[in-house]
Each structure stands twice: as C-alpha cells, then as structure tokens.
Structure 1
C-alpha cells in the first residue's frame, strides 16, 4: 500500500478496509474489489484527477521514476573480450541449447549440424554458442537423450497393471536393414490411454518363428515386463508371426484391418468383370505415370471441367469415380491404352457402394482410441449391412456374396474369443447388446469368471462390515441335531457363493441393466467416473480396453522409420536408428507433461 504515491493523499478506512478516505475532502473511495488480492488504486487516482488538480499534479511528480545516472566506468578491454567468449561446454547454457539442438536433429539428418546454413542460423541467434559436430551428437547427446526418454517411459510403465502390444517387421529401402517393432499400450489409474514405442530393433537373419520368440522374450526382459502382465499382442496375419505367438504362449490377436483387407481382396478377385476393370485401371494409371505430357494434358482437362487437380492412384476407386468426366474428355482427344465402357463405369460405382463401409470401418478401427471392444460390434454391423439387398448390387452380387462369406469365415469365432468378448462387455457403448441371444448366457458366465479373477484383490473387504443381527458367536455352535443347526445347514447349502462372488454378480447385473452409451461416447471417461460404483469391472476394463484392434501403431512407426532411414541417412547403424525412432515418437510424451 505504501509503495504507491497515491497513499500520500488517502488513508484506509477504519470501518471497512475495502474503502479509502480522501485526506482532502474526506470522501470514501472503493478500492476496487471485495478481496485484498483484488484491491487497486485506479479509483483513487481518478478521484484526484477530477476533484483535486493540485494534489493530482503532485501525485504525478512523485510517480515519475528517478533516472539512474549513467555509469562512468567503461569496461576494460579484457572484460569486453570475455563477454564475447563462447560458452564453455561445461556451462548450463551450452548444455541446455545443445539438448534443444539434439531434439531438433532427431527430426533431421545428424549431419545438419555441420551445414553452413544451420551454423550461421545458430550464430545469429546466439553468437556465443558453438554447436557441436555430428560425432559428438551421435556418441554423446543421442544416447543421453535416449536414456532420458527411456527413464520417463519406465516411470509411466509403473502405473500399468496389464499391457497390450503391437508388432511388425519392416525392411528399409535405403539400406539392407530390417527392424522389428514393439509398441506398448496401457490404461493408467486415471483411465488415460498411453501408446508408447518400446523397441524398433535390428532383426537380421531369417525371420522364423523361433527367432521372433527369442526377440520378443529379449524385448520384454529389457523392460522387466512379466508374462502375466501381457494382455495381448497384435500382429498381422503372417504365418511366422502367428506361429511365434502360439509357440511362445503369448495371447495373440490378428490385426482387424489386415483381415478386412484380405476379405476385400477375395471379393474383388471373385468376379471376373471386377478384376478386369481393376487390370484396366492399372494400365491407365501406368500410362499417366510414364508420361509427364499425358499428366499435363489431364490436368488441363480437369481445369477446363472445373475439377480439382488430382492424380490417379491404382486401386483407389473413389478417385476413379470422381475423375470419370476428366478421363472421358481426355480419351476423346488423346489415346489411352484402354478405356471403360458405360457398363464398366456403372460397375465401378456399384462396387464403390459395397466397399464404402469397409473404408469407413478401416478408418474407425485405425484411430488411436479404437480397442478390441470394437471388433465384435463392427463385424456384426458389417455382416448385417452386406446381407441386405439394395439396388446398387446390380452386376456385383457375386463380389458382395463372396465379401460376406469372407468376412464371416475370417471372423467366425470372435464371439467366443475371450479377449474380444470380455472387451466388448466392458465397453459401456456395447455391453452384451451385440451378441446373439443364444450365446449371451455363455458370454455372461465367461464375463463373471474373468471378473472373479480380477476381483480377488480389488474388491472392497466385506468382513469388517457388520450387519445387525448377523453376527454369530464363534465359541458356541448349536448342537448338531438342533433345529438351529438345520437352519444354518440349509442356508449354507443354498448360498453357493462367497461374498466376493455376490458382489460381482451385483455389479454385473447393475452395469448391464443400465442403458448403453452412445457410440460417440468415451468408454474410459465412463470408467473414470464409475470406478467407485463398479470397482471390479473398472479394474478389468483397464486390462481389456487397453488392447487396440489393429497393428496400425507399428505401421505408423515404420512411416517414421522411413523418414529416419532415407538416402541421406543410409549409413545409420541399427542402434542409432532405433534410438532416433524411439526418441522421435516418445519425446512428445515428455514435452506434453
């Protein structure tokens, strides 16, 4: 209060600290708030300006800062040169800037630090910073940052009860290197989903199932992940991967997106007219890809028709339908290796209608929030849609029938697979609504068995809760032939369930009796809000909803790998490549926190 010159003309009211009294006219002025943190001097200054001009002029004079006299001491020559000396490599400033440079270089070739343009940029930003060379970054900074990221990941993993994983194999084009990925997925105690890259390691030699088993065991051992903590491992449908899961005894799941793609492939090849259209489309695309002049002419046609400039891609049917007029106009003036008839264009349109749900479904299950709970409902919805007869089926009924049969065959047993069935039951958007009526009793029994296993250590204790009139004397028991003994015997025979089992049944019945959430709802937000009401179900949800339904995370990881290992960085060792990929994908976890 005394720091402002305005208080030379005011004082605080003795009756109310929210008011200030003018020393000149004794008027009470509000101090600008109801709490001391909100008090200000604006009203008092305004009062002086409008009512007391002489005092206001005095206030302005007092408010002007006292000018600081200029220093008469000039720095010495040695002090001037010292100020321009580069930072020592042991200084905090140099280490901090180098860390940021390393974070930037993880997205670029390591040799960028030796680029003249980069060094000129750094010198302009801070002339005293001398950036290290590529070798220092590779040998010192990269391992240090990698270790920092791994330490952060290790802390995150401590909050995981069960984990699911995705894995895939990728071969680089720029150099002879194969990488085996492992991404981890878990739900923490606050029901937040975590997707983490654990490994992207060199995988040399023959990719046999035995080699895969040894690699997986080694990766899990590195992170101290026990077998009982592994909930599921998502892979593609490759035979070596499937055999590795069986041989190692890992709970494996197939990538749903890959399985759908196999079904689509069967449907397209089943009808000769559709496969012929596909072959013709590839010839047309090949014509434009090998002729820049042809592409230029096509772009001119698109501009003339007022269409956006789009390039044709093989096997992307939506692009073909949109470019129907452009291709027809182009063929009228220029030669094409083949063209589509009116009938074939109609077949293309009908085939697009059939495949549209597959595209929509693939995008849905490829999202970062999709889980194994989505598989059964998605398959049920897809098969029901394929079973309906619509007008657009004309000419493509064979393909549609084969698609339906392929989907049913490839997902024949998902209703009875525990990982899928329990995950679906634990998703408040689905529960048991997507199971056939005849199968529901079996699924319910499976559900209760799984919850009993999870509830052994998670259920609140009931032994300490005493119900009035239920206590029994432990030192006295009724005679064996007494009427009371018969009452007790009948009760024990009829009970058949422990207190924990009774609580589980109660939770299950209440959970299933409530309406399902909308499909746009957030399952994890539901369990965070209801973990107090359904403690056993919530713990099981952390395990079963952490599993994705596709191995897309590993495929996205290899998109990152393709950017790390390219023609400009084709001499990277596999270890350095893994460190760069892991840092690039996991660093946002640290930056966001």
Structure 2
C-alpha cells in the first residue's frame, strides 16, 4: 500500500501547478525577509505600522514537510499589506525579487487566497492519516469520501480558477483511487472492522463512490472476509496464544472489568487489520528531524546543542497542554539577557536561547 500522505501531496501539487508562478513570488518575498535578522526586524515594524493582528512567524516551505506550502502561504497572506509597505521602503527588496521570480502583485495574492482555500481541507486530511499514536487504517476510506465530496462541491462553486485547480486534482485522484476494484483490500476491511461503520456503512459508501462496480466490490469483499476468517481459524496455535493472553489479561485486570473476547478469531483479525499503517510520515519525519534543526542558518551548533533542541521539541509536542507563548516571553527574555553576559568560551551555550524561542513560536502557530 502506498503512503496516503504522499498521494495527497501529489494530488495537491498537480492541482496548483498553474499557480506555481504566484506561489514562487510569495516564496521569494518570504525568503528575502527571512534571510537576516535585520530584515525580520524591519518586517515586524511594518506589521505594527499596518496594525496587522497576527503573531504567526513567516516560514518557508520545504520538500520533506507535507503541507508546508499551505502553511507558508497562509501566514504570508496575513502580511500582504506589510509586504507592500516593505516594498515601498526597501529598494533592494524590489531588485532582489525582480531578479528572481518577480514581485507579488495583487493578482498573485488573489490566486494565493484561492490556493489556500483549496489546500486547507487537504491539510486536515493529511494530518488525519499521518497520526502515529492512534489507529489510522480506517481513515483512508473516510479520506476518499471527503475528497469525493470536496470535488463534487467545487464543481459548482462558480470560481473558474478553483474549478480549474480541482479538476486537475480530480484527474490525479482518479489515477490512484478512481477504480474501486483496484484499491487495496485492507482499506475496505479496515472500514468493516471499525465498530462505528461495519458492513452497512461500507455498502452505502461503495455505492456512492463506485456505483458502476459496487456489486462486484461487495462480492469480492464477502469472499475475502470468508477466506481470511478460514485462514485465521485454521491457525489453531495462533488463536490459542491469543486466547491465553486474553485470559491472563482478564485475570490481571479483573478490577477493570476487562472481559474475555466473545469472538477471539474476529478480535485477532481486527487487531491485525486495524494496526496496518497507511502513511510513512511518522517514520520519515524521525529521520528528517535533524535536518529541520541543523539548517544552513544554524550549521555551527554542536552535537550537544542539536540533541538538546531535538529532545525539547519532542517534549513540547508530547505535552497535552497547549503552550501559550505570552506566558513565557518574559522568562525567555530574561534567559537571553543572562546568556548574553556569558564569556566567549561559553558562547556555544548561548546559542540555545534563540532556537528555544523559535520552538515556542512554532508551537504557538500549531
């Protein structure tokens, strides 16, 4: 089974290909401002002058991070007036962008707003299938249904630009998920073993998404379920092992009223099927975390500092309580003032303060 998040990414990228010029221009403007602290300071001054009520930080998209283009555009669009003010005051800004993809125009920002509108639901869908701490196998069928409904609604939205983008997305969608009888059987089985859905819901959605082959799919699934059940039933040792574990668990946790499963074979089938991951985002993110921390702007960090930043990032993400940046601004400022007084031989330690601030800002955006 291919990674669902990758397929969604391909669908989105294919759909916004025509808007790539406008996206590139906004990306160039963000890259210029983020290139130095002085430019960021000037940009923040323009934000205050324009009375823009947003604390989100400008960010660049990266190829290894899903939905990063949407996040970049969503933040940049809030600061449209600040970009225009910066352009009037800084001639180098104009020259730098002109030498590249060009300066974002009114039409570019209008296209960007349409792109944001289209990308937003796909961002939520990607997050839904990319979880690593809960079951996701049943989510793929929900994604197919949601995307189908999105395309159906956008057909009559009246906006020709959005209709054009979503038509191309639908073309790519049909390439991977357009034929119901060619979709991996685990997708269907996971929906059936979801106690909220079961066979009745599955029958309804299959007839909605694939009316021409719905009867064939239902017959195929019925046959597959019987074959799978027979295979699990014939494996007596596996079932006995499962029953033994269940009995032990029942004895240990009797105070919690955990009962022995009424249908041990079906229970084992559900465990195996629902545990199937449909996305490789979690594993790939684990290998790319270091690249996000140690980039071209922080290339002189020592291994100790990189380890501290990665661990702190994990702790922040693991926390169940939302972190409010305003509660920590004074504390961070005091910390930075104290670190600035540290002698030069301890200068490497002081580099920890800025990345920590950036982490809290990133956490606030999330």
Q: Which runs of 5+ in 2 are unaligned?
A: 62-68, 208-213, 240-256, 319-366
Contact 1:263 1:403 in 2 (8 A): yes
The alignment status of 1:422 with 2:185, answered yes or no, reads no
| SS of residue paired to 1:277 | helix
Of Structure 1 and Structure 2, which has the larger fraction of its residues in helix?
2
Which residue in 2 is equivalent to 1:500? Answer: none
Query: Do structure 1's residue 456 and structure 2's residue 234 form an aligned pair?
Result: yes
What is the aligned counterpart of 1:318 among 68, 74, 91? 74
Contact (CA 8 Å) 2:4, 2:278: kept in 1 or not?
yes
Answering whether residue 188 of structure 2 is matched by residue 443 of structure 1, we say no
Q: Which residue in 1 is equivalent to 2:127?
A: 363
In structure 2, relative to structure 1, the CA distance for the partners of 1:423 and 1:254 (3 Å cut) is same
2:302 aligns with 568
Match of 1:346 among 110, 113, 120: 110
The CA RMSD over aligned residues, in Å, is: 3.5
Of 30, 37, 46 in structure 2, the residue corresponding to residue 285 of structure 1 is 30
| CA distance in 2 between partners of 1:387 and 1:406 (Å) | 15
Structure with bigger gyration radius:
1
Partner residue of 1:330? Answer: 86
Cα distance change on mapping 1:397 and 1:295 into 2, 3 Å: same
Query: C-alpha offsets along residues 383-421 of structure 1, whole Å, 9 cap, x if unaligned?
Result: 221122353743232221111111221234565422222
- How has the CA–CA distance of structure 1 residues 564 and 288 changed in structure 2, closer, same or farther, with 3 Å as cutoff? closer
Within the alignment, does 1:268 sit opposite 2:16 as a pair?
yes
Q: CA deviation at 1:307?
A: 2.6
The change in CA–CA distance for 1:529 and 1:443 in structure 2 (over 3 A counts) is farther
Q: CA contact under 8 A between 1:414 and 1:420: conserved in structure 2?
A: no
| CA displacement at 1:372 relative to structure 2 | 2.1
> How many Å apart are 1:563 and its aligned residue?
9.2
1:371–1:549: 8 Å Cα contact kept in structure 2? yes
Q: CA deviation at 1:362?
A: 0.8
Q: Which digits, 9 at most, give the CA deviation of each residue in 1:532-558, with x for residues without a partner?
A: 343332110111011111112212322
Counterpart in 2 of 1:259?
7
TM superposition shift of 1:531: 6.8
Distance in 1 separating the partners of 2:258 and 2:127? 28
SS in 2 for 1:297: helix
- 1:396 maps onto 2:158 in alignment: no
Give the Cα separation in 2 of the matches to 1:559 and 1:328: 35
Partner Cα separation in structure 2 for residue 354 and residue 398 of structure 1: 11
Gap change, CA 1:413 and 1:371, over 3 Å in 2: farther
Q: Tell me the secondary structure at the aligned position of residue 277 of structure 2.
A: coil
2:26/2:73 contact within 8 Å kept = no
Within 5 Å, give how 1:71-150 maps onto structure 2.
none
Higher strand share: 1
Distance 1:529 1:556 in 2: 36
1:333 Cα offset (Å): 3.3
Aligned residues: 254
CA contact (8 A) 1:424 1:431 kept: yes
Tell me which residue corresponds to 1:373: 138
CA distance in 2, matches of 1:367, 1:312: 23
Q: Does 1:548 align with 2:277?
A: yes
Deviation at 1:377, TM superposition (A): 2.3
Q: 2:41 matched to 1:302?
A: no
Q: Distance in 1 between matches of 2:197 and 2:118?
A: 25
Query: Structure 1 stretches of 5 or more lacking a match?
Result: 1-252, 462-527, 571-576, 589-593
Find the aligned partners of 1:327 and 1:561 in 2 and give their Cα distance.
31
Q: Which residue of 1 aligns with 2:149?
A: 384
TM-score scaled to structure 1, two decimals?
Answer: 0.38
Partner of 1:408: 174
Distance 1:559 1:455, change over 3 A: same
8 Å Cα contact 1:373/1:427 also seen in 2 = yes
1:6-25 to 2 correspondence within 5 Å? Answer: none
| Structure 2 counterpart SS, 1:382 | helix
Deviation of 1:288 after TM superposition, in Å, equals: 1.3
Instruction: Note if contact 1:289-1:295 (Cα within 8 Å) is conserved in structure 2.
Output: yes
- Separation of aligned partners in 2, 1:529 and 1:408: 44
Shift of residue 441 of structure 1? 2.6
**What is the Cα deviation at residue 283 of structure 1?**
1.9
TM superposition shift of 1:268: 1.7
Going from structure 1 to structure 2, the CA distance change for 1:569 and 1:298 (only over 3 Å counts) comes to: closer
- In the alignment, the residues of structure 2 paired with residue 410 and residue 275 of structure 1 have an alpha-carbon distance, to the nearest angstrom, of 23
Aligned match of 2:210? none
1:31-46 equivalence runs, <5 A: none
Q: Does the Cα contact within 8 Å between 1:350 and 1:396 map onto a contact in 2? A: yes
